[in-house]
Amino acid sequence: MRKKLGISIIIFFMKMSGVEAQEIIKYDVSIAGITIGEMVAKKERKGTEIQYELKSQVSFWFFGKINLDYLTRAVFQGKQLMHAKMTSKTNRGDFESNIQWKGEQYEIQSINYKHELDTVIQRPFHYSAAVFYFEEPTQAKEFLAEAYGLPSSIQKVKDYYEVNVNGNKNRFYYKDGELDKAVMEFPIKNYVVKRKK
């Protein structure tokens, strides 16, 4: 009886604080089979709002040591992406992308590695890059990439989903509806994001 009462009180306070559910998944990040860091993906539901967060710290060699702190946050209201922000801090330079739904369009500003964009998109999106880490895109045909502010199509190819973002082809592999690994093309070096066991 006390245990049930304790659980009921915890649930009550979680609902009062607006936090209904939180999911955290950890991934290893590797290049050529060598682990270079970790990514933590977080999904948090607050009423009709869903917040996604991808955070990683990696370190690797590319004509010298590169340290990278990466953070993406995407907020959905119901099924629509409302705003997103990506920050990437490195010892070679910092990058940032902002996406904001205003009225009936997204205002997008992105400064990324060899990529700059300042534009608007006049239609809503219901899937973004952060969502790949929590939901298999069985029904999604396109998504908005937070880091670049670019719409991209989603193609099912054999046992994976392929997307092309700013010329980089990325592949997402799922097992029983959960992301197992992602193989990412990147201008500096390709890398693999693999779910921890």
What would the pLDDT profile of 97-123 be if each residue is shown by its tens digit?
A: 999 999 899 999 998 877 888 999 999
**Residue 158 counted as domain residue:** yes
Q: What pLDDT shows up at residue 59?
A: 77
In a domain, 3, yes or no: no
Instruction: Give a yes or no: residue 146 inside a domain.
Output: yes
- Between CA 109 and CA 65 the distance in angstroms is 29
What is the model's pLDDT at position 5?
52
Q: What is the pTM of this model?
A: 0.84
Residue 73 sits in which domain range? 21-195
**What tokens appear for 121 in the block?**
């998109």
Residue 104 CB-density burial (10 A; 0-12 exposed, 13-18 middle, 19+ buried)? exposed
Residue 99 lies in a domain: yes
| pLDDT under 70: residue ranges of the chain | 1-20, 61-64, 187-188
The pLDDT value recorded for residue 12 is 47
134 belongs to a structural domain: yes
Look at residue 66 and tell me if it is in a domain: yes
Does residue 10 lie in a domain region?
no
What's the confidence (pLDDT) of residue 62?
62
Residue 186 lies in a domain: yes
3 state SS of 9: helix
**3-class state of residue 92 by DSSP:** coil
**Total tally of structural domains belonging to the chain:** 1
Q: Where are the alpha helices (DSSP H) in 92-149?
A: none
